[in-house]
Amino acid sequence: MNDSEMRHAIGIDFGGTSVKLALVNERGAILVRRKFNTSDAPGQQGWLARVEQEVASIRAEAAPDTQIVGAGVGVPGFVDFERGYIYELTNVPGWTGVHLGALLEERIGLRTRIDNDVNAMALGECTFGAGRTYQHAVFVTLGTGVGGGLLINNKLYRGAHWMAGEIGHVSIDMNGIPSPTGFGGVEQYVGNRRIVERMEKAIDSGRATILLDLVNGDRSRLSPKVLKEAADKGDVVALEILEYVTDCLATAFASITYILQPQAFIVGGGVAEDAKLLFQLLRKNVEKRLSAHFSKRLEIKPAELSNDAGVIGCATLALIE
Amino acid sequence: MNDSEMRHAIGIDFGGTSVKLALVNERGAILVRRKFNTSDAPGQQGWLARVEQEVASIRAEAAPDTQIVGAGVGVPGFVDFERGYIYELTNVPGWTGVHLGALLEERIGLRTRIDNDVNAMALGECTFGAGRTYQHAVFVTLGTGVGGGLLINNKLYRGAHWMAGEIGHVSIDMNGIPSPTGFGGVEQYVGNRRIVERMEKAIDSGRATILLDLVNGDRSRLSPKVLKEAADKGDVVALEILEYVTDCLATAFASITYILQPQAFIVGGGVAEDAKLLFQLLRKNVEKRLSAHFSKRLEIKPAELSNDAGVIGCATLALIE
């Protein structure tokens, strides 16, 4: 089947710093890309005008007979998927209570689906990426926080009010770190900033470690990536931190497995890329925390779509929902 | 509609101590009941012969035109629901690797469904009991352990290998009480025996409490029921224990809510009957552990089918699955 016979959709990955657009075919391949800075198109009107313009430019570049069935938008915040309505966005001002679906359909003349960005990524990974062979899978993205999306019976499960999959708030310690979402939520232990704090604390303790050498003494460059690099070189301090971080994650994964028994966890986000050791430790710690009945029937795999997970996932919303 | 126009099914609640049978109509009403001691019909052949006999006796008692569409069996252990196959039962010897579905169909000539007993109860409660108005609900039963069943999109969700809903193993403390299923599983804190241990410890500490008075000094009679009685009378020690137990449960409920966002938790089992105070404390502690976005959209309700939850749930397996 060549491209002119396939269905296509436009994915619009609405991030706090940039907005990425892509024309994606029904096999998950990207044909045309666009990108602009979120701050260059402020407010609803600015954003809508710019997206309309970029969509027109994508259409102009695409082959004339390209069949575009719709558009999907992934946003960083809470949405009502059914109504295409944004309750509010986490780090983008001016987007509280917006019927983005209707507004965008009017501008671009395409059937439009709106969802949470992590749900969109989960759908993309479970359709075209590491989760494509599973019916029941949990997608996890590691970054500033820990996000999640649930595939149940081969469909994205959004919960009673479109808020399911907030696995960063799963408690790993009922008396643990307090936050507005409870006590001991796993992202309070494994979010990027928490990892860097642990690295700094270890450095301050005076223990022998190459962590600071790897950034030429510049603490502002410490990151989970540096941690992985040090651990790969056998740095004992880095290994300890990675062990701890993966064990915290494993606690949440084990709880989720006892509840849902998915076939697989698909783990994405910067920390999880090129992270063989992280996956080894994660697997080991999950096995420690699950009975064999469960652990032998569970896979833990890295995501495959990397930086394109967002736009591909957004397009997938329009292709299959 | 009268009974002769309704569909019926036979529920068979296979427990470790007794086996209960009932003829149930499609509105969840019980028309005929039977019961025998599990030890009186040992082994597969003994059990099958006795069940065949009881089913015949139920049919003999039912009106001649009663339309019986099938039978459902709930068993205390792991099953393959699709194949009607028992992997093993927890406290009943002689039931490892048994195709109970096929064996029973041959004996009684009715289409037969086999499931885990907690799943059967969950299905019964979500069809005819406290969960009948929900599409997404979590059924929880409190007893020796903590069992669970998940209603997702109005259907029982059984997971990738029929093992989902083991919410007693959800960890509330990654460094908590070890067990064969991991660390800090909530049932290690709120199972009946654990509650009694806490009561005994409080008594041993010499603190003023009426716990021992309520059982006339007989420690062997201490139970969660006695705890509730003392708490209802304002006993400070009992209230503290109930606060702790409900907070442990609330930790697991909050984690489950962040993952699945059900509309409601339906809580059954002896501890949860006539337990207004327990539900008040549970609600308070769940609210402490959830952001308002989630807690205001969540109900926590007592189960309604009480001792009949088992047989009604089993019959429901045959009526709707």
pLDDT in tens, A223-276: 999 999 999 999 999 999 999 999 999 999 999 999 999 999 999 998 898 899
Q: How far apart are CA A102 and CA B193, in angstroms?
A: 56
Percentage of residues in chain A with pLDDT exceeding 70?
100
- List Cα–Cα distances, B202 to A11, B103, B221, B228, B248, in angstroms: 60, 50, 15, 15, 18
Please tell me whether residues A14 and A43 are part of one structural domain. Answer: yes
**Look-up: residue for tokens 């503290």?**
B240
What ipTM was predicted for this assembly? 0.96
Whole-number pLDDT of residue A2 = 78
Q: Looking at the structure, tell me whether residues A287 and A241 fall in a common domain.
A: yes
| Residue A101 forms part of a structural domain | yes
Q: A91 falls in which pLDDT band (50, 70, 90)?
A: confident
- Rounded-to-integer distance, Cα B219 and Cα B227, Å: 12
Report whether B112 contacts A135 (CB < 8 A).
no
Q: Name every chain A residue with its beta carbon within 8 A of the beta carbon of B173.
A: 172-175
Report H helices in B64-221.
100-108, 117-128, 187-190, 192-204, 211-214
* Chain A contact set for B165 (CB, 8 A): 259
DSSP-derived secondary structure letter, B103: H
| Res B5: pLDDT | 87
Q: How far is CA A227 from CA A209, A273, B102, in A?
A: 11, 13, 56
We report the CATH number of the domain holding residue A55 as 3.30.420.40
Residue A268 amino acid letter: G
| pLDDT band, very low/low/confident/very high, at B11 (cuts 50, 70, 90) | very high
Does B248 share its domain with B166? yes
The total of structural domains in chain A comes to 2
- Six token digits for residue A281: 């430790």
Pick among B90, B155, B174 to test the A interface (most A CBs inside 10 A): B174
Q: What are phi and psi of B39, to 5 degrees?
A: -70, -15
Query: Which pLDDT tens digit goes with each residue over B113-162?
Result: 999 999 999 999 999 999 999 999 999 999 999 999 999 999 999 999 99
Sign of the CA dihedral running B271, B277, B279, B284: negative
pLDDT (tens digit per residue) in A26-70: 999 999 999 999 999 999 999 999 999 999 999 999 999 999 999
- Per-residue pLDDT at B1 exceeds 80: no
Question: Is residue A90 within 8 Å of residue A77, measured between CB atoms?
Answer: yes
Q: Is residue A201 part of a domain?
A: no
Across A8-31, average pLDDT? 96
Q: Of B257, B131, B261, B253, which is closest to residue A159 (Cα–Cα)?
A: B261
Q: Using a CB-CB distance cutoff of 8 angstroms, which residues of chain B are in contact with residue A247?
A: 174
Q: Which of B247, B248, B293 sits opposite A163 (nearest CB)?
A: B293
**Chain A residues inside the 8 Å CB shell of B79:** none
Residue B295's closest chain A neighbor by CA?
A: A181
- Pairwise CA distance, residues A108 & A52, whole Å: 6
| Bridge partners, B312 (sequence order) | none
Instruction: Confirm whether A120 is domain-assigned.
Output: yes
Based on the fold, state whether residues A176 and A299 are members of the same structural domain: yes
Residue of chain A whose Cα is closest to the Cα of B248: A174
Q: What is the DSSP letter of B263?
A: S
The whole-angstrom separation of Cα A167 and Cα A139 is: 10
- In one-letter notation, the amino acid at residue B195 is I
Give alpha helix (H) positions in B142-209. Answer: 187-190, 192-204
B154 and B240: one domain? Answer: yes
Residue B303, pLDDT > 90, answer: yes
Residues B120 and B140 in one domain: no
Is residue A216 domain-resident?
Answer: no
CA dist A41 and A49 (Å) reads 8
Per-residue pLDDT at B2: 78
**A167 contacts on B by Cβ (under 8 Å):** 258-259
**Measured distance CA(B231)–CA(B222) in Å, rounded:** 13
Note down the domain range covering A147: 133-191+226-304
What pLDDT is attached to residue B3?
Answer: 78
Asked if residue B315 and residue B254 are part of one domain, the reply reads no
Say yes or no: B181 and B54 in one domain: no
Residue B33 shares a structural domain with residue B9: yes
CB A184 within 8 A of CB A175: yes
Helix (H, G, I), strand (E, B) or coil at B78: strand
Per-chain mean pLDDT for chain A: 96
Residue A27 in domain: yes
Chain B residue closest to A259 (CA)? B165
- Answer yes or no: do A113 and A171 share one domain: no
Kindly tell me if the per-residue pLDDT of A301 is higher than 80.
Answer: yes
Angstrom distance (rounded) from CA A267 to CA A252 = 13
Sign of the Cα torsion B202, B204, B210, B213 reads: positive
* Cβ-defined contact of A174 to B172 (cutoff 8 Å): yes
- What is the pLDDT at residue A270? 86
Dihedrals phi, psi of B65, to nearest 5 degrees: -95, 15
**For chain B, percent of residues with pLDDT exceeding 90:** 93
What's the pLDDT score for residue B90? Answer: 82
A23 contacts A66 by C-beta, under 8 angstroms = yes
Tell me if A111 is assigned to some domain.
yes
Place of tokens 């108005």: B133
- Is the separation of the CB atoms in A109 and A136 below 8 Å? no
B91: pLDDT strictly greater than 90: no
Burial A276-294 (b: 16+ CB within 10 A, else e): ebbeebbbebbbebbbeeb
Residues B197 and B99 in one domain: no
- Tell which of A177, A251, A288, A293 to mutate to test the B interface (max B CBs under 10 Å): A251
Are residue A24 and residue A114 in the same domain, yes or no?
Answer: yes
